[in-house]
């Protein structure tokens, strides 16, 4: 692979090896990490996320269970299911698949997951912990982006990082994680007057918007590291002349690759590492639950 391309699949394998060892150590002591996924309605992309997560869990020995709810489920019913999972000592991690269909209230459901079992790192408590320097159960995609940036060998201290996108799931938490690493962080969004002015200053550019080709070669400082979080489906003509779909990021990969020092591909960049981070968070939450149980037994 081109040395400029950050291989997310390779890094995901390294993380999975580490997680597998920790899972085995827990199982030897009678503790089984178990991740329960909750999804609501029939959304094709969500089915694919669940399939990938289930496969990844099997690869490292984490038990995986899927709880599917129909579109007409009520907020109260999903809340009750989450409370039951919180109380079940056999469940060590819970993930609520996005999007959650309206009129269900996503934030209330997310915050109903006990922070110690919130392995996606999306509860207010776990996001808030980042402010206080604890990112151990942080949001998986943000953790994955920082992990991949670190593989470049760039020192994050004092690095000029520009984050494009300020969503609560990616843009804001990744900026907070980078501030903790002492990077100098600028966050761009719809209100930013001159996006190119900012992106051109960046030693590292992290993009999480959901717009194909938003970042072009002329917007990138030569030698910068570019982490593309976006996942978009675009229409293409297949080699046989029929219409088809292709998955691309937010960055014009071929153009930006010429200017960048490092770049993540889509697919095969941030995505696989995000799943690996979910596994790492799940094993960590199990280790912590075991520790708390042992402390309670000694008390
Ligand atoms: P989101 O909630 O829609 O947020 C998009 C962000 O981009 C918003 O902060 C929005 O700002 C900003 N934005 C929109 N247009 C912009 C522009 N022209 N210039 C600068 N900022 C602009 O999306 P998300 O959940 O953060 O996801 C972003 C992308 O990452 C999507 O493609 C998603 O599929 C992908 N994703 C990938 C992974 C992974 O594992 N690889 C995980 C999660 C998400 P305003 O709010 O001001 O409009």
Let me know if residue 259 belongs to a domain.
Answer: yes
Q: Whole-model pTM? A: 0.95
Q: How far apart are CA 220 and CA 147, in angstroms?
A: 21
99 and 182 housed in the same domain: no
Domain end call among 114, 148, 164? 114
Q: 112 near 246, Cβ under 8 Å?
A: no
Let me know if residue 294 belongs to a domain.
Answer: no
Per-residue pLDDT for the chain (299 aa), expressed as one digit of tens each?
677 999 999 999 999 999 999 999 999 999 999 999 999 999 888 998 999 999 999 999 999 999 999 999 999 999 999 999 999 999 999 999 999 999 999 999 999 999 999 999 999 999 999 999 999 899 999 999 999 999 999 999 999 999 999 999 999 999 999 999 999 999 999 999 999 999 999 999 999 999 999 999 999 999 999 999 999 999 999 989 999 999 999 999 999 999 999 999 999 999 999 999 999 999 999 999 999 999 999 98
> What CATH number is given to the structural domain containing 89?
3.40.50.10860
Q: 246 near 83, Cβ under 8 Å?
A: no
The tally of domains found in the chain comes to 2
163 and 252 housed in the same domain: yes
218 and 257 housed in the same domain: yes
Domain that holds residue 106: 30-114
How far does residue 209's CA lie from ligand 1's centre (Å)? Answer: 3
Let me know if residue 54 belongs to a domain.
Answer: yes
Cα–Cα distances (Å) from 260 to 221, 225, 245, in that order, read: 7, 6, 26
Tokens describing residue 145: 């982006």
How far does residue 75's CA lie from ligand 1's centre (Å)? Answer: 26
| 3-state secondary structure (DSSP) of residue 103 | coil
Most ligand 1 atoms within 8 A of CB, residue of 9, 169, 170 to mutate:
170
How far does residue 234's CA lie from ligand 1's centre (Å)? Answer: 16
Q: How many CA atoms lie within 13 A of 247 on its CB side?
A: 11
Residue closest to 156 by CA, chosen among 213, 199, 202:
202
Let me know if residue 121 belongs to a domain.
Answer: no
Atom of ligand 1 nearest to the CA of 269: 41
């Amino acid at each position: 692979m081109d040395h400029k391309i950050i291989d997310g699949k390779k890094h995901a394998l390294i993380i999975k090896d580490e997680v597998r060892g920790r899972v085995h150590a827990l199982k030897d002591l009678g503790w089984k990490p178990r991740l329960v996924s909750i999804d609501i309605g029939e959304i094709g992309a969500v089915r694919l996320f669940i399939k990938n997560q289930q496969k990844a869990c099997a690869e490292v020995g984490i038990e995986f269970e899927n709880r599917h709810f129909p579109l007409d489920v009520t907020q109260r019913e999903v809340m009750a299911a989450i409370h039951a999972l919180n109380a079940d000592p056999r469940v060590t991690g819970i993930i609520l698949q996005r999007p959650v269909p309206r009129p269900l209230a996503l934030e209330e459901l997310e915050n109903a997951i006990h922070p110690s079992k919130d392995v996606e790192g999306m509860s207010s408590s776990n996001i808030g912990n980042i402010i206080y320097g604890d990112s151990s159960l942080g949001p998986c995609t943000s953790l994955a982006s920082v992990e991949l940036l670190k593989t470049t060998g760039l020192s994050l201290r004092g690095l000029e990082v520009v984050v494009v996108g300020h969503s609560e799931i990616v843009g804001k938490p990744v900026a907070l994680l980078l501030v903790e690493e002492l990077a100098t962080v600028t966050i761009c969004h719809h209100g930013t007057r001159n996006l190119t002015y900012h992106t051109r200053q960046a030693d590292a550019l992290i993009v999480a918007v959901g717009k194909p080709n938003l970042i072009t070669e002329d917007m990138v400082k030569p030698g910068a590291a570019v982490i593309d979080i976006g996942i978009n489906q675009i229409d293409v003509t297949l080699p046989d002349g029929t219409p088809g779909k292709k998955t691309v990021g937010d960055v014009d990969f071929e153009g930006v690759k010429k200017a960048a020092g490092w770049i993540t591909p889509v697919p095969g960049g941030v995505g696989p590492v995000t799943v690996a981070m979910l596994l790492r968070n799940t094993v960590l939450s199990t280790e912590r639950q075991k520790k708390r149980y042992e402390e309670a037994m000694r008390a």
